[in-house]
Structures are given as C-alpha cells and as structure tokens.
Amino acid sequence: MNRRFEFAFAPAYRLPALILGIRPRTAHVTVTADELRVRFGPWRLVTPLTNIATTEITGNFGWLKTAGPPHLSFADRGVTFATNGERALCVRFLEPVAGIDPTRTIKHPGATLTVADPESLQRALA
C-alpha cells in the first residue's frame, strides 16, 4: 500500500514556497504499509504508523505564520507544512519526530499538513 496525498497550493503561498524549492512536484505526503512520509521541498519527516497517536482536521491559519518554509510552534514544538491557510490535518505522535532542522535535533510532537484531501489522509492513517 502506497497512497500519495498532494498539498493544496493557494495562490498566495506559491511564490514563498517556490523560492524555497517547495512546489507540487516536491511536496507530498505518502502513507505506506508501515510509514508516514512527508516531503516538503528539501524538508522530510518520516515516522512509523505505529507512532501516530491522533489526527484532527484543522484550519484557518494566518498567512504570516504559515507561508514559506515549515514553521515551528514555540508553544509545543509542532511543525507546520503549509501551502494554504484553509484546511489541514494535524497529526500527533506518541514519540516526537525530527523534521524541521538539518541536524534532526528538534523533535516535534505533531505535524500539520495542508493536503488537498485531509479527510482521506485521516482515514489512511486510522
């Protein structure tokens, strides 16, 4: 089983993303039989499906807090991979995972993913 989920790019997010190498060809989420894999331009997040605790549909994000590179939440260290501010799937992990920094030292308890079909991704992770 390999299911691929594309990010939903809003027009206002395209230029900041493009500058960083984030484009439809280089940004997607893949669910395999064993893993959740996120590619967001040069950034990667990979975790076993057994590490997923919960998922929740969310949205209404501010452009300044989400456009461009992945964003780190200073409140809980979660990471947001956003290509729009409308809708996303928030995935919480049992054990925090790396994803935002090249040294892989910052660990995230959750990731927010603005895929085109968050409900289908949520079902695939259930």
Q: Which residues contact 31 (CB under 8 A, 6 or more apart)?
A: 1, 2, 3, 5, 37, 49, 121, 124, 125
Residue 45 pLDDT > 90: yes
With cut-offs at 50, 70 and 90, classify the pLDDT of residue 65.
confident
What digits encode the pLDDT tens for the residues 73-119? 888 899 999 999 999 999 999 999 999 988 899 999 999 999 999 99
Residue-level pLDDT at 62: 87
DSSP the chain: -EEEEEB---HHHHHHHHHTT--GGGEEEEEESSEEEEEETTEEEEEEGGGEEEEEEEE---HHHHSSS-EE-TTT--EEE-S-SSEEEEEEEEEEEE-SSTT---EEEEEEE-BS-HHHHHHHH-
Residue-level pLDDT at 1: 74
Residue 15 pLDDT > 90: no
Q: Which among 120, 124, 109, 118 is positioned nearest to 89, based on CA atoms? A: 118
Report domain extents, the chain. 2-125
What digits encode the pLDDT tens for the residues 16-37? 889 899 999 999 999 999 999 9
Residue-level pLDDT at 92: 98
Query: How many residues are recorded in the chain?
Result: 126
